Amino acid sequence: MTAASKAAARAAVVCGAGAALPPHIIMNAELTARLDTTDEWIRSRTGITQRHVAGVDLSTTDLAARAAAQALADGQPVTVEAVVVATTTPDRCCPATAPAVATRLGLTGVPAYDLAAGCTGFLYALATAAGLIATDTARTVLVIGADRLATLPDPEDRTSVPLFGDGAGAVVLRRGSTDEAGALGPVVLGSDGTGADLIQASLPGTLHMDGADVFRHAVDRMSTASRQAATAAGWDVTDIDRLIPHQANSRITSFVARQLGVPDDHQLGNVGDVGNTGAASIPLLLARSAADGRLGPGHRTLLTAFGAGLTWGATTLTWPDLSLTRLPEGAGHDR
Ligand code: UT7
């Protein structure tokens, strides 16, 4: 086997997807009762109508383990050899979330670690999982994005409270070939610490965001990263059948789609039903869309995200046939 064919046989291939949302839903109307805001403002400026919020009895570890269990149950049968959890809201600073999730799933002993890259965390986690596979550290990796962002803002802050929700999403990656459906393309990642103050949260404490500035950066960075990821994969942006952008605000994702020239019906979203779920956003949307058929086998799919750091990223894959049968718990869909 040549070095090139060896590398081609160590691609990371998606073979399962799952999601979990807390059962408790907070509608906009509930927020308007205690904040100086309106349902109309929240809907028209963000696209959000409701968000799922975890109570004290549902931790980030719980959500991550539920999403992962569904990804494993609904995908092709595999033996997981590593677990990566992307989160900015771990239950504790130390230890990391991933070892606890691995143990819950009966995977005690496998390498397991967290990483934090804001709302881009899931794409960073995909890249590191692909690295674990390429280096033969693991043949199968569970990649989870899980966050509990709903309670991070100051409860009086009308500019942030309506935006965030809680949830988790997961995919299973296995070793495979670059030419098969599900193989991840090159992952484009970036960061800019000069924008660190634009979205920040201290522990314990509250989240602060300069919304308008973040909005502009988000559109710009996701559009550029998407073009770069498409080019790196050998695609033209007109090849994109499904655009899966991080769900922060439907106006942001519409701008990104417009800048890329991706038609509206090729862009998937669920921010209306779940709000901004941080690192969970992309895998939650992937699992939901795959389950309801909006994302189907053969769709050339581009994932892109932007978040605190600042961080951003994008990657491509042709969606595989996962034969998903169940819908993620309570997950909704905008279009
Ligand atoms: O996951 C990645 C990180 N997060 C994001 O990507 C979020 C990015 N930013 C956004 O989504 C938007 O900037 C927001 C939704 C946060 C804000 O929307 P905007 O259209 O950029 O509004 P703005 O910040 O420019 O504020 C416009 C006005 C302000 O009032 P004045 O100064 O014009 O009198 C705000 O005080 O809207 C006011 N406002 C509200 N009014 C009613 C802000 N939040 C609210 C609210 N209800 N909830």
State the pLDDT at residue 300. 98
Per residue in 127-168, pLDDT (tens digit) is 999 999 999 999 999 999 999 999 999 999 999 999 999 999
* Ligand 1 centroid – CA 211 distance (Å): 6
Confidence of residue 327 (pLDDT cuts 50, 70, 90): very low
Which position among 52, 217, 246, 299 bears the catalytic label? 246
> Which residues make beta-bridge pairs with 315?
303
Which position among 15, 119, 249, 299 bears the catalytic label? 119
| Domains of the chain, first to last | 3-177 (3.40.47.10), 188-318 (3.40.47.10)
pTM of the model: 0.94
Checking if the pLDDT of 64 tops 70, the result is yes
Neighbours of 37 (CB within 10 A): 16
State the pLDDT at residue 77. 73
State the pLDDT at residue 4. 63
State the pLDDT at residue 322. 85
Buried b (16+ CB within 10 A) or exposed e, 207-246: bbbebeebbebbbebbbbbbbbbbeebebebeebebbbbb
In the structure, which protein residues have their CB atom closer than 6 angstroms to any atom of ligand 1? 37, 41-42, 45-46, 119, 158-159, 162, 199, 209, 211-212, 214-215, 218, 248-249, 252, 276, 306-307
Per residue in 185-244, pLDDT (tens digit) is 999 999 999 999 999 998 667 899 999 999 999 999 999 999 999 999 999 999 999 999
State the pLDDT at residue 6. 64
CA atoms within 13 A on the CB side of 330: 20
